Structure 1
Amino acid sequence: MQKKKSSSPSYPRRPGPPQQVRIIGGTWKRTPLPVLDAFGLRPTPDRVRETVFNWITHQIDGDWDQLDCLDLFAGSGALGFEAASRGANAITMIDTLGPVVRQLETIKDKLKADKVRVLRADAMSAARDLAQRGQRFDLIFLDPPYQQDFLAQALPLCAQLLKPGGLVYAESGDRLPFPETAGAEDALPEWLAQWELVRGDKAGMVHFHLLKLH
C-alpha cells in the first residue's frame, strides 16, 4: 500500500495564532506585515521598533537616504521594511527559511520596494561572504532567534561589515553585559569587547541595544 504523503509544512511552526506587525513610520506608515507561522519568528514589537528607530534617526540626523542597511536575520522583515519605508538607500535582507524568503519577496513586490534585496542564505555564511567581497553597511540589524548564541557569532562579523561610524541594532532575550546596563565589573567577553553601547533598553522580555565600534 502506498504511503500517504504528509501535508505538514517543511518548516517548524510557532505555537499560537497568526500575527502581524505594522510599519511605524515613513512612506508605508501603518502598513501591516504578516508574520509567518514558523517557530523562531518573533518580530520586534511595534513599540520597540518605534523607540529604536527614533534612536537611529537621532544618531544619523535623519539622513536615512544615505544609509546602506543589512537585515541579517530578516524574519518578518519588520526592521528592513521599516528602514526602507523611511527612505534608506539600500536594504539587504537575509534569511535561511524558504517560506520566509518567499513571503519577504511577496511583501517587497506588494510595496514596490525596489531598494530592498532579499537573499536566501545562512546568516553567518552570508555575512562572511559579504565581508570577503568588501561590502560595507551603515546600519546592521541583528534580531536572531534567542538562546542560540547568535549574537556572539554575528557581532565579530559585523565589525568587518560596518562602514566607519556605522551602527548595529542587536536584540536578545538577555541584557548584553555592558557595565552601563548590567552593572558588571568583570571584563566584557571577547566578542563584545570592541563594541560601545550607544543606547539600550528593555520591553517585556526583549532587550534591545544600539551599538557602535570603539
Structure 2
Amino acid sequence: MASPSAKPNKAHGGQGQLRIIGGEWRSRRLSFPDGPGLRPTPDRVRETLFNWLAPYVAGAKVLDAFAGSGALYLEALSRGATTAVALDSNPVAIASLKQNLETLRCANGQVLQSDALRYLQNPATTAFDMVFLDPPFHQNLLVETCALLEERQWLAEGAWIYTESETPPSSLQLPSNWRLHREKKAGQVYYALWQRG
C-alpha cells in the first residue's frame, strides 16, 4: 500500500507485519515482504473504514485493485465477504498474499498478478459490492481506475468504493454518480468512502 510518508524500507528481503483487526481472524498477525509501496493501511485507518462499512461487508463481493500487503483484502474476508479478488503487479506481494490465504485456510479469496488498469479494461465478469483503491501515489492511477470501474460495469448498484489519495477527495473528479459518504485525513493521506448512485 502506498504512502508518501512511509519510513525507509528495511534491507531488501525483510518482512513487515500486519494485524487483522476484526472478524474470524481477529488479532492474527501475518507477514508480508518489505518493498516499495508495500505498506499496509494503518490499523487506525482500517478500523475507521471497517466501522463505516460494518453493515455491508458480510456477503459482499470485494475487489482490492492495488492489494500490496493485502491488509484491506484480508480484513474484508475475515469479516465475512463472500468472495474477494486481489490484484497487484508485484510478484513478491502476490506470492506472500497467496501464502497468507493458505495459512488462514481461506478458500474464497482469489489473488491475481495483474496490473489493475489492464484487468479493468476487460468486460466485467462480476459486479463488485465493495472496492478498495489504494494505488501508488503521484502516478495518476486513481481517476483512471475509477473511470474504468464505472465504464466497464464492474460495480453493483449501490457499491461502496474506498479511496486513498495524496489530494483531497473533492479534487479527484471521480464519476459523477458517486456520492462522497465519509472522508478523513491521516498524516499526508486522504482516505474516503464513496457510494455509487
Question: What TM-score results when the alignment is normalised by the length of structure 2?
Answer: 0.88
How do 1:89-128 and structure 2 match up within 5 A?
A: 89-128=82-121
Residue type at the aligned position of 1:203: A
2:75 paired residue among 70, 82, 92:
82
How do 1:1-214 and structure 2 match up within 5 A?
A: 15-17=8-10, 18-58=15-55, 60=56, 64-129=57-122, 132-159=123-150, 160-177=153-170, 189=173, 191-214=174-197
What SS does the aligned partner of 1:26 have? coil
Distance 2:189 2:31 in 1: 20
1:33 and 1:76 in contact (8 A); partners too: no
Residue type at the aligned position of 2:154: L
Distance 2:132 2:120 in 1: 12
2:82 and 2:108 in contact (8 A); partners too: yes
Greater Cα radius of gyration, structure 1 or 2 = 1
Superposition deviation, residue 74 in structure 1: 0.6
The unaligned stretches of length 5 or more in structure 2 are: 1-6
- 1:103-134: per-residue Cα shift (whole Å, max 9, x none)? 111101000111111111111111122xx144
User: What is the aligned-residue identity percentage?
Assistant: 39
The unaligned stretches of length 5 or more in structure 1 are: 1-13, 179-187
Over the aligned positions, Cα root-mean-square deviation in angstroms equals 1.7
* Structure with larger RCO (C-alpha < 8 A, sep 6+): 2
Superposition deviation, residue 23 in structure 1: 0.6
Distance 2:29 2:66 in 1: 19
Superposition deviation, residue 80 in structure 1: 0.5
Distance 1:49 1:133 in 2: 27
- 1:160-213: per-residue Cα shift (whole Å, max 9, x none)? 2110111101111221126xxxxxxxxx73x44332101111111221100112
1:69 and 1:90 in contact (8 A); partners too: yes
2:63 and 2:128 in contact (8 A); partners too: yes
Distance 1:133 1:27 in 2: 30
- 1:15-55: per-residue Cα shift (whole Å, max 9, x none)? 33343221110111111232322112222101000000000
Distance 2:124 2:155 in 1: 13
Distance 1:95 1:134 in 2: 18
